[in-house]
Chain A
């Protein structure tokens, strides 16, 4: 019964997101903090969208709302036209900054954790888990604990774990934020080539404007106090994109425009 329902949502799920009038206030001991104010935007299916903005402008809060991990004070989120509440693991997967791997589980057991939660059999989990690890180039590291991996590898495991959910929407909160510049760009390149095969909807939070422009179809620029959207910048650079594109004039023009937008608020 529930299995059937899951199958149905999966086959019809395309990953359009509509955010309408979302505001969120955190209750603290010192009173209310307005983290988000009247956020509305829609993401068509299969688009790669980045959220950028100064620290504290509510990027993570917005992502938590989209993930169903936090109920906004006002407003709602529609997934494929349906108002949602709570996590939607069949459609939405989340990858956080510090990878959030379970330290007592091997890479393989971490990657297949979402399947375990769904009650998938061990052999099936192992097969899918190994495939997912191979996709991110970590075939040889199935038995390693997270602590025994480099930061970049941990993040690859987290990406593999998100992809194993076959999400129509992938939410990422500064997934490469803890990595050095070189590894960060390598990971971005890998993510793009993985995404080219899947083409699901991605909402990607980052501080790094080069990364944002390089990856995205659209960059949503936010400002703080209270968190709001100030501009949506369309990135119409051709795909597939090689890393060299970051040196072209169009690219730099877009990047600088976004930078000025953030600076001016």
Chain B
């Protein structure tokens, strides 16, 4: 006991904490295994249980539909992706800046309260209005998605900044940090994990909003419009293929943000099972 206390440099007295690095390969194997089993169930269950293909199409048929409708899907992808990217850029950049200001200036607290109330409004009722005002094209889609994604980004960023330990701020100030340095070297990195989780939340909503807008207005193009078209034609296989494509889009966005979140939370959360892949 005393030996431990006497030697501050005793490497073996420390808890061993896994550092940044590769996820143990067994975990990757496990996850891949689970995904494979799920996909297999998707393929086999409809056939074994005799589920009508109007309800649930086996995986292989959905993929075949993708081959058949590849050009249409490819053409629909860009309107969706570009609208999502545009709306993401706006909600993330403006949302974080506004959230940061609201969180760090006590005088702006009421803005946060206001957004909190606004958050309860189901904005979907506004889309018809938006499409009348701006027209049913890309622009109204983007505006609608911004409306959806903006508030959670602002609210989370504000909460993240407000949650920064006052003592960190105080001690940096005693070391002579300027206002600017306090912002960039203390407040921002300290609240970054929370801000990123807000971006994740907002990002998900932006994607949903774009697809919903596309479903509501058949002239706007994009994946949502395409899904509606296939649905009307009773082409369940093609609908399922489109859903797969949208899921992949969502996964790519979410996983890149999750990786950024883990990086930003370095030194803070336990990172045993959540180390970024590769």
Contacts and interface: CB of A to CB of B under 8 A. Distances in A.
Interface of A: 64, 67-69, 87, 89-90, 92-94, 96, 98, 100, 102-106, 113-114, 116-118, 136-141, 145-150, 152-153, 156, 161, 165, 182-183, 186
A117 B177 CA distance: 6
User: Shortest 5 CB-CB distances between A and B: which pairs?
Assistant: A89-B176, A145-B267, A100-B171, A94-B174, A114-B175
A139 to B, nearest CB: 7
B9 A87 contact: no
Nearest to B192: A104
Contacts of B190: 102-104
Interface string B136-170: 00000000000000000000000000000101101
B175 A98 contact: no
The residue in B8, B165, B168 that gathers the most chain A C-beta atoms within 10 A of its C-beta is B8
28 contacts: A68-B174, A69-B174, A87-B174, A92-B174, A96-B167, A96-B171, A100-B167, A100-B170, A100-B171, A102-B168, A102-B189, A102-B190, A103-B267, A104-B192, A104-B264, A104-B265, A104-B266, A104-B268, A114-B176, A116-B185, A117-B176, A117-B178, A118-B176, A138-B8, A147-B17, A150-B13, A182-B5, A183-B5
A137 B8 contact: yes
Given A100-B167, A104-B266, A114-B175, 6 more contacts: A93-B174, A96-B167, A118-B176, A140-B9, A149-B14, A183-B5
A146 to B, nearest CB: 7
Given A94-B171, A96-B167, A100-B168, A117 B267 contact: no
Nearest to A139: B9
B11 A117 contact: no
The residue in B167, B189, B267 that gathers the most chain A C-beta atoms within 10 A of its C-beta is B267
Given A103-B267, A104-B268, A145-B266, A150 B174 contact: no
Interface in B6-43: 6, 8-9, 11, 13-15, 17
Contact of A104 (B167, B173, B189): B189
The prevalent SS among residues of B at the interface is helix
B266 A69 contact: no
Nearest to B9: A140
B276 to A, nearest CB: 16
Interface in B178-232: 178, 181, 185-186, 189-190, 192
A106 B175 CA distance: 18
B176 A98 contact: no
Interface string B230-268: 000000000000000000000000000000000011111
A27 to B, nearest CB: 13
Nearest to A137: B8
A153 B172 CA distance: 20
A116 B266 CA distance: 20
Contacts of A92: 174
Contacts of B268: 103-104, 147
Contact of A141 (B9, B15, B185, B265): B9
A152 B13 CA distance: 12
Contacts of A152: 5, 8
A113 B175 contact: yes
B8 A93 contact: no
Nearest to A143: B19
Contacts of B168: 100, 102
B8 A156 contact: yes
Contact of B175 (A117, A138, A146, A147): A117
B127 to A, nearest CB: 40
Contacts of A89: 174-176
A113 B171 CA distance: 11
Contacts of B5: 152, 182-183, 186
A229 to B, nearest CB: 23
Contacts of B15: 148
Given A87-B176, A93-B175, A98 B167 contact: yes
Contacts of B173: 69, 87
A186 B8 CA distance: 10
A115 to B, nearest CB: 9
A108 B176 CA distance: 19
B170 A165 contact: no
A68 B170 CA distance: 10
A135 to B, nearest CB: 12
The residue in A92, A100, A141, A150 that gathers the most chain B C-beta atoms within 10 A of its C-beta is A100
